[in-house]
Chains A and B, each alone.
Chain A
Amino acid sequence: MSREQPTQYLVAQLREALAHDHRVAALDIHVRIVGTDVFLTGAVSTPPRRDAVEAVIRDVAPHLVLHNQLDVLPAGAPTGREEIR
């Protein structure tokens, strides 16, 4: 008799895939599954890496409706500085 996989195990599998897939190699992407939808939050360095995260999730769990809410980090020069006292 097959049993439906508890959601939390699938979340763990998706996070492992994001860590080990060379396109992403990220340990800090937040993955949440609600019903048939998967929500991705957090931040990545570049727009291509944001797309790569999406590709990895689709490879592992093509049946889920994906909501890619990842931010792309700014990497400009700072506008100020702090004096350590």
Chain B
Amino acid sequence: MIRVAAVGDVHVAPDARGSLRDAFAQLPDVADVLLLAGDLTRMGTEDELQVLIEELDGVDVPQLAVLGNHDHESDRASALTKRLEGAGVRVLEGDAEVVPINGTTLGVAGTKGFGGGFAGACASDFGEPEMKAFVRHTRTLADDLRGALESLDTDVRIALTHFAPVKDTLGAERPEIYPFLGSYLLGEAIDGVGADLAIHGHAHSGSEKGITPGGVPVRNVALPVIKTAYAVYCVG
């Protein structure tokens, strides 16, 4: 059994310094790995990210992350990724990482993902170039996620995204904005390969628990949803 701690949408900034440190310090006692489901910062600046890095300083569990839309706001995503990796946080974008844990292996495939909506009420790759670009961005990331999952031959396999792969976990979000919260293409990729768990954030007014059409458990770990510094799931 692998204990997976996960949280998204911590949106750190200098005003949040110290707010997560005590809870993160307990991680080695309660979890084998920490997954960060994007929107680590408020505006996507390195100054903000440094606050999170300091919160995680000395926390001795493997840490993996995807970025979120807020982390792209200042067009510094590459710099943020480099800073995180320098601090020991593996940042996934269309790739996967294998973590050995107590004689078993955990594989995590990750992508930010993107929007478009859900089957039956979604954007189509049709019409203006801007619309095509929107949908194709999601499709590209979903294809990358599928490939990353396929590359894993591990005891436990988890898909980590920022955007939602299903609408099950959108809870009290207004249906009008579903296309900006996630895409069925992500869920389709996860179901196409299979996984033990799918974790996402982004939907602050969502609900924690859902399932893909193919039966993969989905958990929305946005901090405003779980209302704790992280949730812990035992998998495998």
Closest to A52 in B: B15
B75 at the binding interface (Cβ < 8 Å): no
Question: In the bound complex, what is the Cα–Cα distance between A22 and B43 (angstroms)?
Answer: 7
Interface string of A7-45 (1 = CB under 8 A from B): 000000000000000101110100000000000001101
Q: Are A82 and B229 interface neighbours, CB within 8 A?
A: no
Q: Are A28 and B19 interface neighbours, CB within 8 A?
A: no
Interface residues of A in 28-85 (CB under 8 A from B): 28, 42-43, 45-46, 48-49, 52, 73-78, 80-84
B residues near A78, Cβ cutoff 8 Å: 30, 226, 228-232
Q: Are A77 and B23 interface neighbours, CB within 8 A?
A: yes
Question: In the bound complex, what is the Cα–Cα distance between A10 and B162 (angstroms)?
Answer: 30
Question: In the bound complex, what is the Cα–Cα distance between A46 and B51 (angstroms)?
Answer: 14
Q: Are B42 and A76 interface neighbours, CB within 8 A?
A: no
Given A43-B204, A45-B19, answer yes or no on A77-B228 (Cβ-Cβ < 8 Å).
Answer: yes
Interface string of B202-236 (1 = CB under 8 A from A): 00110000000000010000011011111111110
> Among the listed A49, A76, A84, which residue makes an inter-chain contact with B15, where contact means beta carbons less than 8 Å apart?
A49
B residues near A42, Cβ cutoff 8 Å: 204-205
Q: Are B196 and A75 interface neighbours, CB within 8 A?
A: no
> Among the listed B3, B13, B223, B235, which residue makes an inter-chain contact with A73, where contact means beta carbons less than 8 Å apart?
B223
Count of A-B contacts judged by CB separation below 8 Å: 82
Q: Are A82 and B233 interface neighbours, CB within 8 A?
A: yes
Q: Which of A28, A48, A49 has the most CB of B within 10 A?
A: A28
Q: Are A25 and B42 interface neighbours, CB within 8 A?
A: yes
Q: Are A81 and B227 interface neighbours, CB within 8 A?
A: no
Question: In the bound complex, what is the Cα–Cα distance between A73 and B223 (angstroms)?
Answer: 8
Q: Are A75 and B30 interface neighbours, CB within 8 A?
A: no
A28 to chain B, nearest CB (A): 4
A74 to chain B, nearest CB (A): 6
B111 to chain A, nearest CB (A): 20
Given A25-B70, A84-B197, A84-B217, answer yes or no on A76-B228 (Cβ-Cβ < 8 Å).
Answer: yes
B39 to chain A, nearest CB (A): 10
Top-4 shortest CB links A-B: A81-B232, A77-B23, A48-B15, A78-B228
New A-B contacts (9) at CB < 8 Å, excluding given A77-B230, A81-B231, A82-B234? A26-B42, A28-B204, A42-B204, A45-B11, A45-B223, A73-B224, A77-B228, A78-B232, A81-B232
- 9 CB contacts below 8 A, A to B, read A25-B43, A25-B70, A46-B19, A52-B15, A74-B228, A75-B223, A78-B226, A78-B232, A82-B231
User: Which B residues have a C-beta under 8 Å from some C-beta of A?
Assistant: 1, 3, 10-13, 15-16, 19-20, 22-23, 26, 30, 42-43, 70, 73, 196-197, 204-205, 217, 223-224, 226-235
